[in-house]
Amino acid sequence: MKKTLLLFLLTYASVCFGQATKYSAAQVQEDIRYLHQQLKKHHPNLYVYASKAQLDSTVAALIKEADHPMSEQELYAHLTRFSAIIKDGHTLFFPNATSLEYHNNQSLFFPFKVFYQNSKLYVELNCSLNDEVASGTEILSINGLSAEQVIQFCLDRMMRDGHNLNYPIWILNQYFAEYYSYFYGHPSEFSLELKTSSGENRSVTVAALPKAKIREIRAARFPNRLTARGLNQEPGTGILLKIDILRSIATLSIRDFDSGILKTVYQQDFKKTIGYLFAQIKQAQIKHLIIDLRGNQGGNLENGTFLLSQLLPEKFRVVEQFNVVKNPEAATEQERNVLKKGWGTQLNPPQAKPFLGPTYLLVDGGSFSNSGIVSSAFRHYQRGKIIGEETGGNKSVICGWEEAVTLPYSKISVSIPTRQFVIRERFKNDGHGVIPDFMVRPTILELAEGRDEVWDFTLNLIQK
């Protein structure tokens, strides 16, 4: 899991493709063929959700449709159609570096944080110059296209683990402005059809803004709402513990399992911090522990293992086996892949005095990659109740250890995983993540009011 979506979004969250560069049909077709060859060579999950025949047919269709010159934006939208057939959350498409730098410094973006649920798109946070658009307002259309059209176009081209769309929906809810620009460019203004909470329809036009201005407005209007990954990254906030002595409840929030990000951004060492916080939990004689992995997109496997060692009474395993590609041209996963030895498949000892009280795990679509592995182990060892939404990360098989491949003409960088993680063989891979014991989804009303219904539900569950 070397090059992740997180690193891309943190570094290039304000960028997209331009329209100036055009690629000939022959160049586009060659990029498609090259990408197909690299996927066959490296990707161990290539035929988990689609057969070789289905993927080959998709590639042939993409080549046939590339019979005309394409702009960078058009090419990006064309190539990312691979996502819907491969269905792997670690296969990521990154823009051309020259375009990245240009748009990072020059371009304008959609000035709202949105929330998409049940086929409707809402304004969660208004970061535009027009402060009259209230949180909770439904967005019916953007620049002449229905909101559902826009969202579906994006979802058809975004990463996901299997048949589960919780992860790409979570990504859109956090980074809609970026993905809108990847697929629709950088208009100077947005004509919106809106529906207010009272049912009134209205039309407004708002100016597109630079990313710096959007962040400035968000910080001023919503100072307590800067909790998304990539925001409010103050030292000491990557791993947080809150203790309620009166109710004997501790809430441990882990925003990241990535050691590098924790060290450089949050100035925290995972093992030292977790060890110290669990010592505080024991000293306070806490009875109930809430672990919040919502929005935690993963990171180092050993960090998730260390967290579990603080919770489990006996030896445990987090990954059953690793596989890599051996025979690229083989038609099935079983024929293509071979076993790969590596750290992570061993039995792990618990800590000397782990916390064994009632434990509650909070997850959502942003609980991806290593968070999915931790959640799968938590369920497998029946450690406690899981609350929230289906994890974005698959519960039984994922990929990692990405290698960046640069396409020869467009210079689009594709992050291709090289190692398959078989997490739980006893779970049949149905293409879904860990399903909570209690399904609790946030609502736009809750978000507009700044409430946390998942945490409130958990607190009520404890008090019962």
| Cβ–Cβ under 8 Å, residues 438 and 385 | yes
Residue 7, pLDDT above cutoff 70: no
Q: Any idea what the CATH number is for the domain that residue 216 is in?
A: 2.30.42.10
If DSSP codes are grouped into helix, strand and coil, which group holds residue 348?
strand
In a domain, residue 330? The reply is: yes
**Alpha helices, H only, 284-326:** 301-309
What's the pLDDT band for 235 if we cut at 50, 70, 90? confident
Are 80 and 117 part of one and the same domain?
Answer: no
In a domain, residue 411? The reply is: no
As a whole number, mean pLDDT of residues 37-50 equals: 97
Are 87 and 115 part of one and the same domain?
Answer: no
As a whole number, mean pLDDT of residues 59-79 equals: 96
Strands in 47-156 per DSSP E: 70-71, 92-94, 112-117, 120-126, 138-142, 145-146
In a domain, residue 103? The reply is: no
Residue 106, pLDDT above cutoff 90: no
Span 222-232, pLDDT tens digits? 887 655 555 56
In a domain, residue 206? The reply is: yes
Q: What percent of the chain stands above pLDDT 90?
A: 84
| Cβ–Cβ under 8 Å, residues 359 and 289 | yes
Are 247 and 344 part of one and the same domain?
Answer: yes
Q: CA-to-CA distance for 144 and 205, rounded, in angstroms?
A: 12
User: What is the pLDDT, as a whole number, of residue 112?
Assistant: 97
Span 139-159, pLDDT tens digits? 999 999 999 999 999 999 999
User: What is the pLDDT, as a whole number, of residue 426?
Assistant: 59
User: What is the pLDDT, as a whole number, of residue 98?
Assistant: 77
| Cβ–Cβ under 8 Å, residues 365 and 389 | yes
Are 300 and 375 part of one and the same domain?
Answer: yes
Are 202 and 273 part of one and the same domain?
Answer: no
- Going by the DSSP 8-state scheme, the letter that residue 350 receives in this structure is P
Total residue count of the chain as it appears in this document: 464
Closest CA to 229 of 365, 327, 356: 365
Q: Which residues contact 412 (CB under 8 A, 6 or more apart)?
A: 31, 75, 76, 79, 93, 94, 95, 96, 406
User: What is the pLDDT, as a whole number, of residue 449?
Assistant: 84
Residue with tokens 């969250």: 13
Residue 97, pLDDT above cutoff 80: no
Q: Would you state the structure tokens that stand for residue 5, as one six-digit string?
A: 């979506």
Span 327-346, pLDDT tens digits? 999 999 899 999 999 899 99
DSSP conformation letters of 238-288: SEEEEEETTTTEEEEEE--B-HHHHHHTS---HHHHHHHHHHHHHHTT-SE
Are 449 and 305 part of one and the same domain?
Answer: yes
As a whole number, mean pLDDT of residues 259-285 equals: 97
In a domain, residue 408? The reply is: no
More reliable by pLDDT, 106 or 134: 134
Structural domain count of the chain:
3
**Alpha helices, H only, 14-143:** 25-42, 52-65, 72-79, 82-86, 97-106
Neighbours of 225 (CB within 10 A): 17
Are 117 and 38 part of one and the same domain?
Answer: no
As a whole number, mean pLDDT of residues 346-368 equals: 97
Are 193 and 254 part of one and the same domain?
Answer: no
Are 314 and 431 part of one and the same domain?
Answer: yes
Q: CA-to-CA distance for 56 and 427, rounded, in angstroms?
A: 29
Q: Would you state the structure tokens that stand for residue 405, as one six-digit string?
A: 């491949």
As a whole number, mean pLDDT of residues 398-410 equals: 95
If DSSP codes are grouped into helix, strand and coil, which group holds residue 301?
helix
Are 114 and 89 part of one and the same domain?
Answer: no
- Out of 65, 93, 121, pick the residue that ends a domain: 93
In a domain, residue 232? The reply is: no
- Out of 70, 93, 116, pick the residue that ends a domain: 93
DSSP conformation letters of 168-208: HHHHHHHHHHHHHHHHH---SEEEEEEE-TTS-EEEEEEE-
In a domain, residue 457? The reply is: yes
Range of the domain at 123: 108-221
What's the pLDDT band for 99 if we cut at 50, 70, 90? confident
More reliable by pLDDT, 85 or 105: 85
Span 364-380, pLDDT tens digits? 999 999 999 999 999 99
In a domain, residue 290? The reply is: yes
- Out of 187, 221, 255, pick the residue that ends a domain: 221
User: What is the pLDDT, as a whole number, of residue 419?
Assistant: 97
Are 59 and 113 part of one and the same domain?
Answer: no
Neighbours of 316 (CB within 10 A): 18
Average pLDDT, the chain: 92
Are 45 and 118 part of one and the same domain?
Answer: no
Q: Any idea what the CATH number is for the domain that residue 339 is in?
A: 3.90.226.10
